[in-house]
Amino acid sequence: MKYEEELKQKICTADDAVSLANSGDVIDYGFGLTQSDVFDAALAAQRGRLSNVTIRGTLSVAARQVIELDPDQQHFEYHNWHCSGYDRKKCELGQMSYLPFNFGEGPGIYRAHLHADVLVLKTSPMDENGHFNFGISNTFAKANCEVAKKIVIETSTAIPICLGSDNTVHISDVTAVIEGDNAPLFELPSGDITDIDRQVAAYVLPLIKDRSCVQIGIGGMPNAVCAALTESDIKDLGIHTEMFVDSMVALIDAGKVTGKYKQTYPEKITYTFALGSKKMYNFLDNNDTCVSIPVDVTNLPDNISANDRVVSINNCLQIDLSGQVASESSGYRHISGTGGQLQFVRGAVASKEGQSFMCLSSRFYDKSGKGISRIVPGLSPGTVVTTPRSDVMYVVTEYGIVNLKGKSVNERVLALISIAHPDDREELHKQACENGILTKKYWS
């Protein structure tokens, strides 16, 4: 009852909550589905009284009104930890700046290096114990709360209750509470699985053993691997991942996931955020087999490698002939972010019997329909290296799979050319010779 009284004292309108913000402030919008909508609109509407306000956000799932109504950044400057499709377009327009980081370092970066004058989070309504649940975006929310001077909660009945640790904030720590619009949550389509995705999965599947602990990324290829696992004879899998995705629900429903042989959180599914369908959100709601934990617990390599047989499966955009992986930019065009890719690559490789898979189609096709190799002699200017060549293990295309561990540059070049599109192999070999990537023995 006392918490209800405290809540009544802190409930206010969005305009009143926005009055907490002043010129020169840093305002943190949180991550993905915990980003506000009502507060965001009210803040944008009050832009005339504000200047030099920095806003931090991550993975926007809706248009940010502070950008839409202030495109020339006269009042707000927006920084982003990881780009969605919307964020990518804003980066291209010069209306947003990317914050480079390894996802698992997020809580530590906040505690050691950052502050927020105002933190705004969309959460579930308060429970009987005075807690607001972060729902499906745990990530670095608790660290955000610890460093914020003022905390504004925007409640939403659409946010599922996700059980776990460090995944709530108490009414006693909250400055103001506003009622959100309770709109249905954004749903991210899984994407169709192509024949190329299935072929890549067919190369990966034979290497995955019973009792493996899997991390599955987003996209067609990881989904294809998950679908193949669902139909396979592999059993007693565990899940320790940063992102919970729709294909995992089918894997769990098929009885493939028991978690009995996990060294950390045995018999539990561990994740730090989720993005997908309403069916998946409903699956996570009050599900005590699924444990929502901060991103430093899921993503720091030592925590990943504490489990045996970790399997990390990720997409990438491009790889050069020495093994450098680009997953976040194409030239100077920013696309997504580092995320947890590098940390899961390192954690998987350090795990006992662990394996890391980097998946990509051999080619992409430009607007004219011309096929362009994703395996290249060298990354184009401006392209960011997400995973260094020294960390890469398996690389998979629809034409095969190669393990780069222990291979010289000569051996890497020949291995990667062997899984490039057949029509690109001769030119790749020629360029490798002309640029001295291959030694003289291979110059003919």
What is the rounded CA–CA span in Å between residue 17 and residue 154?
10
Annotated catalytic residue 242: yes
Select which of 105, 242, 328, 398 is catalytic.
Answer: 242
What the block records as the tokens of 343 is: 């940390």
Distance CA 276, CA 82 (A): 17
Per the CB < 8 A criterion, the answer to whether 345 and 381 are in contact is no
SS3 assignment for the chain: CHHHHHHHHHECCHHHHHCCCCCCCEEEEEEHHHCCCHHHHHHHHCHHHCCCEEEEEECCCCCCHHHHCCCCCCCEEEEECCCCHHHHHHHHCCCCEECCCCHHHHHHHHHHHCCEEEEEEEECCCCCCCEEECCCECCCHHHHHHHEEEEEEEECCCCCCCCECCCEEEHHHCCEEEECCCCCCCCCCCCCCCHHHHHHHHHHHHHCCCCCEEEECCCHHHHHHHHHHHCCCCCCEEEECCEECHHHHHHHHCCCECCCCCCCCCCCEEECEECCCHHHHHHHCCCCCEEECCHHHHHCHHHHHCCCCEEEEEECCEEECCCCEECCEECCEECCCCCCHHHHHHHHHHCCCCEEEEECCCEEECCCCCEEECEECCCCCCCCCCECHHHCCEEEECCEEEECCCCCHHHHHHHHHHCCCHHHHHHHHHHHHHCCCCCHHHCC
As a whole number of angstroms, the distance between CA 150 and CA 302 comes to 33
Q: How far is CA 140 from CA 97, 299, 337, in A?
A: 19, 11, 16
User: Which positions are catalytic?
Assistant: 242
